[in-house]
Structures are given as structure tokens and as C-alpha cells.
Amino acid sequence: MIRDPDFSKVTFKVNASGSWANLVTCAVDRIDEVKKACEVIAKGSRIKFKYVDADGGTIEEFSYVQNWRHGYCWHEPKRGR
């Protein structure tokens, strides 16, 4: 029997050298806390973070965005054209 995906949790992933690795899984009500911790870890480095749902779909990503702020921030992932 195939279990239903658990959408009450998300998995944060980290990328520092070209591939994504699982960092931590948390309940959806703790997303903001984990995002803040990721921002602290990222200070002064070129590290990226993202969090995914139970199906593996990226919800949000922390990486460099060339926009009016020209810097690292949380943003929606780029989608296919």
C-alpha cells in the first residue's frame, strides 16, 4: 500500500557546491523560524537554500536575485518557459 504524502511538513535543502542535500524537515508552522536560521547561515557565503513539499515541488528558494535589491533573498523558484 502506498502512503499518502504528508503535506504538514516541508524539507529544507542546501546547496553549497552544485547539488542539493537535505538539511532539515519541519512542520509547516515552523517554516519562518527555519528560514531565519538559513539566512544567518548564508551570511557571507554563496550558499543556497530551498524548501520542498511532500511531492518534491519547490515552494520557495533563497538565492541571488538580480532585482531592485540585487542580493540574496527568499523568492519563488524560476518556472519553465
Are 48 and 58 a contacting pair, CB within 8 Å? no
Closest CA to 41 of 61, 67, 14, 64: 14
**81 in a structural domain:** no
Residues of the chain with pLDDT under 50: 81
Query: Does residue 65 form part of some domain?
Result: yes
pLDDT confidence of residue 35:
97
**Which residue range is the domain that position 35 belongs to?**
9-75
Total domains in the chain come to 1
Read off the pLDDT of residues 1-23 as tens digits, 9 standing for 90 and up.
777 788 999 999 999 888 999 99
Joined together, the cell numbers standing for residue 63 give 538565492
Q: What is the pLDDT of residue 70?
A: 62
Is residue 50 situated within a structural domain?
yes
| Residues whose CB falls within 8 Å of the CB of residue 59, separated by 6 or more in sequence, listed in order | 10, 50, 51, 52, 53
Which amino acid belongs to residue 78?
K
CB 54 within 8 A of CB 7: yes
